[in-house]
């Protein structure tokens, strides 16, 4: 069993290295700024108050800094951490995709699609406070555990994930969307949606506890990215503004999902609904032309793709994706 995954795993790790290296090279001039910003979070001095709960990456960075020789520059420690984060995240994504599809090539394809989406992120944002890679990892786990309806383990992942980013709350969206498509959005099924409420409250409580535990005098303010984006809409539409790059990613996902057999299963529809709800929330609070904000939705959609490959040979999917022209 393990030997059958050697080549796929090597491919996945290669994609992880590619994503980490591109992220590093695109942000190399700002690495020390990001390093200091990470350390400031642990001191309760986050440069953006809403980021005060994002302690997972800084804790990992501190652990590695203490573990590695003092002669190694902080910049090199940060770089190594990013490679490790990418490797862990992409292996988790591969594992979840394989579990859902049962197909090695299909699971590698899912990772490749997410890699493609991630490569654009460094071109649209000069910084990355905490980890996009961990965001991919936690969203993959949220999907797997929501589909399996394993609430205790999901709660644990949500609590840890909320120490990375506030997108831990998206686990509630995933659970509610999947439950709604499986059992129906009816009041009589309220018990099916109760776990989503529990997950949301757990994530909210974790975020608040970390924020005010580290910075009790912090004055919260909520940044509304949609307003900021509208004020720079002309820039957003330029080739460097992000929207054309976003459209390139949308096209890739559209073509990949379009090639799946119809009709979609209820679980696929549930994941699609979850991705759209997460997208709507993201576009309220996030800056639209910073493409990293879409990674949670892309991850959910990529796993909807994995579900669709379960009963479809990869060759048939590729044939539908790139049909031969008939003469």
pLDDT for res 243: 79
* Confidence band, pLDDT 50/70/90 cuts, at residue 298: very high
Residues ≥6 apart with Cβ < 8 Å to 325: none
Is 320 part of any domain? no
Residue 322 forms part of a structural domain: no
Please list, residue by residue across 43-52, b when 16 or more beta carbons sit within 10 angstroms of its beta carbon and e when fewer do: eeebeebbbb
Check residue 304 and give its pLDDT: 97
Mark out the alpha helices in the chain (DSSP H runs).
6-26, 31-42, 56-67, 74-101, 104-119, 132-148, 151-161, 170-183, 190-214, 225-231, 233-236, 243-258, 266-285, 295-308, 314-321
In a domain, 323, yes or no: no
The answer to the question of residue 101 being in a domain is yes
pLDDT for 327 equals 53
Number of separate domains in the chain: 1
Domain that holds residue 102: 3-313
Query: How much of the chain exceeds pLDDT 70, in percent?
Result: 92
pLDDT in tens, 1-55: 677 889 999 999 999 999 999 988 887 777 788 888 888 888 988 887 888 888 9
- Asked whether residue 326 is domain-assigned, the answer is no
Answer yes or no: is pLDDT of 208 > 60: yes
Domain assignment present for 21 = yes
Give CA–CA dist 58/12, Å, rounded: 25
Residue 324 confidence (pLDDT) above 70: no
In angstroms, the CA 307 to CA 100 distance is: 5
Would residue 63 count as lying in a domain? yes
What would the mean pLDDT of 315-319 be, rounded to a whole number?
A: 77
Q: Is the peptide bond before 263 cis (omega within 30 degrees of 0)?
A: yes
Condensed to tens digits (0 to 9), the pLDDT of residues 61-79 reads 999 999 999 889 988 888 8
pLDDT at 239 (0 to 100):
63
Mean pLDDT, rounded, for 127-156: 92
Instruction: Report yes or no: 129 and 50 within 8 Å, Cβ to Cβ.
Output: no
Q: Which residues contact 218 (CB under 8 A, 6 or more apart)?
A: 44, 49, 52, 211, 212
């Amino acid at each position: 069993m393990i030997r059958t995954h050697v080549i796929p795993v090597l491919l996945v790790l290669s994609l992880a290295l590619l994503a980490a290296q591109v992220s590093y090279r695109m942000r190399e001039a700002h690495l020390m700024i990001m390093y200091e910003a990470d350390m400031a979070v642990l001191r309760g001095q986050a440069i953006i108050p809403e980021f005060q709960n994002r302690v997972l990456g800084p804790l990992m960075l501190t652990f590695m800094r203490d573990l590695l020789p003092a002669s190694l520059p902080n910049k090199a420690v940060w770089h190594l951490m990013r490679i490790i984060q990418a490797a862990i995240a992409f292996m988790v994504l591969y594992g979840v995709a394989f579990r859902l599809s049962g197909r090695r090539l299909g699971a590698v394809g899912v990772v490749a699609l997410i890699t493609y989406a991630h490569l654009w992120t460094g071109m649209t944002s000069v910084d990355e406070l905490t980890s996009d890679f961990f965001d991919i990892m936690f969203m993959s786990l949220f999907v797997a555990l929501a589909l399996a309806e394993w609430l205790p383990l999901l709660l644990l992942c949500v609590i840890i994930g909320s120490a990375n980013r506030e997108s831990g709350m998206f686990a509630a969206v995933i659970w509610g969307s999947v439950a709604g498509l499986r059992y129906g959005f009816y009041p009589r099924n309220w018990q099916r949606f109760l776990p989503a409420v529990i997950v949301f409250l757990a994530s909210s409580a974790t975020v608040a506890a970390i924020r005010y535990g580290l910075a009790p005098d912090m004055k919260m303010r909520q940044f509304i990215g949609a307003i900021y984006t509208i004020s720079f809409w002309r820039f957003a539409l330029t080739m460097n503004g992000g929207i054309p790059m976003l459209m390139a990613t949308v096209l890739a996902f559209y073509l990949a999902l379009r090639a799946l057999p119809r009709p979609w299963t209820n679980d696929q529809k549930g994941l699609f609904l979850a991705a759209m709800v997460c997208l709507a929330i993201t576009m309220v609070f996030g800056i639209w032309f910073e493409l990293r904000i879409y990674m949670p939705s892309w991850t959910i959609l990529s796993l909807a793709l994995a579900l669709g490959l379960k009963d479809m040979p990869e060759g048939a999917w590729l044939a539908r994706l790139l049909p031969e022209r008939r003469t």
